[in-house]
Amino acid sequence: MGRIILAGGSGFIGQLLTHHFTSQGNEVIVLTRTPGKGQSAAKHVYWDAKNLGEWVQYLEQADVLINLTGKSVNCRYHARNKREIIASRVNATLVLGQALRQLKSPPKLWINAASATIYRHALDRPQDELTGEQGAGFSVEVCQQWENTFFSQQLPGIRKVALRIAIVLAKEGGVMPYYLNLARFGLGGRQGNGLQCFSWIHAQDLVGSIDFLIQHEELEGVFNLSSPKPVPNHHFMRAVRDGLKVPFGLRATKWMLELGALVLGTETELLLKSRWVVPTRLQKAGYRFQVGSVEEAVRLCVS
């Protein structure tokens, strides 16, 4: 049993981790702007993710700090949203570092969320922590500023781990209900040319790999949290159709996706960028993935 702090932990991933850690008997403190929203076994404490406050006291003698804070990137990338996406991540990371520096007994481990989209659009080879190439554009800039802010915090004695998280597949939420609904309405065909790589991780392995990183005190730095078996978009969409026993799905061309993204207030990059990401460091450290294929992941999401 221990105390785990989830900063920005009221979202989808935070809820998965809250359920997992509380079921193990841990004390979980969720730092959130909306402490009265939702019910769970965790204690919800208000913070604004920008300034020091009463929330700092909960970090004293905590075992692990996990920061998940950040405005959703599922929006249009106009100037205001761009500023808020970057500021939400950078400000939260800065104030957490400031809080940790004033504690007498800080957590021994600080895990900060990051994103697998930091890598370039890749159709030629997989991208990992050792030889992967970072891309260009706004989404990559967000990742770079986020990680740079995290690793610039000088905190002797605190182990730091950044999680480059791929798309999380889970029955409980995230993107999976969106894909399932597309397939149910006959729209579950390939998106664009369907060749772009779809890097994913099932919720079981998201939680399992974070557990693994907590337990292995020799591990620090950047880790890709993604399945070692990414697939092309057309393969993933076929797995979704098969999981629902839907015989066909209409293809969405690039112009159709651009029109739909405009109507829905999002960006086509979330669907069309080829993310070919593999978890080399996790596997070398000895982590064994529980969900072996995207077909199995989809079955777990629809069962």
- How much is the pLDDT for 265? 76
How many Å apart are CA 281 and CA 276, to the nearest integer?
A: 15
Strand, coil or helix: 40? coil
Rounded to an integer, what distance in angstroms lies between the CA atom of residue 132 and that of residue 262?
A: 31
- Which range, of 4-13, 221-230, 247-256, averages the lowest pLDDT? 247-256
pLDDT band at 255 (very low <50, low <70, confident <90, very high): confident
Q: What are the residue ranges spanned by the domains of the chain?
A: 3-166+201-226+279-287
> pLDDT tens digit string along 140-167?
999 999 999 999 999 999 999 999 999 9
The highest-confidence range among 73-77, 192-196, 253-257, 262-266, by mean pLDDT, is 192-196
Segment 185-197 mean pLDDT: 92
Does residue 36 have a pLDDT over 90? no
CA distance readout (Å), 86 to 11, 116, 213, 288: 18, 16, 26, 33
Residues 60/61/62/65 CA torsion (nearest 10 deg) = 60
Q: What is the pLDDT of residue 302?
A: 93
Q: What are the tens digits of pLDDT across the range 48-72?
A: 999 999 999 999 999 999 999 999 8
137 CB-side CA count, 13 A: 12
**Strand ordering across the sheet containing 221-225:** 43-46, 27-32, 3-7, 64-67, 109-115, 159-165, 221-225
Strand, helix or coil for residue 263: helix
Give the per-residue pLDDT at 39.
Answer: 63
Q: The pTM is what?
A: 0.94
| pLDDT value for 38 | 61
- pLDDT range class, residue 75, cuts 50, 70, 90: confident
- Write the CATH number of the domain with boundaries 3-166+201-226+279-287: 3.40.50.720
Using the predicted structure, report yes or no on whether residue 22 has a pLDDT greater than 70.
yes
Residues 6+ apart with CB under 8 A from 220: 159, 160, 161
Q: What is the pLDDT of residue 303?
A: 84
* Residue 259 to residue 243: CA distance in whole angstroms: 28
Residue 266 reports pLDDT greater than 90? no
User: What is the pLDDT, as a whole number, of residue 37?
Assistant: 67
Residue-wise pLDDT for 81-100, tens only, equals 999 999 999 999 999 999 99
Judged against a pLDDT cut of 70, whether residue 183 lies above it is answered with yes
The pLDDT of 257-282, averaged and rounded, is 84
Which has the closest alpha carbon to 299: 224, 247, 244, 237? 244
Segment among 182-186, 204-208, 239-243, 289-293 with least mean pLDDT: 182-186
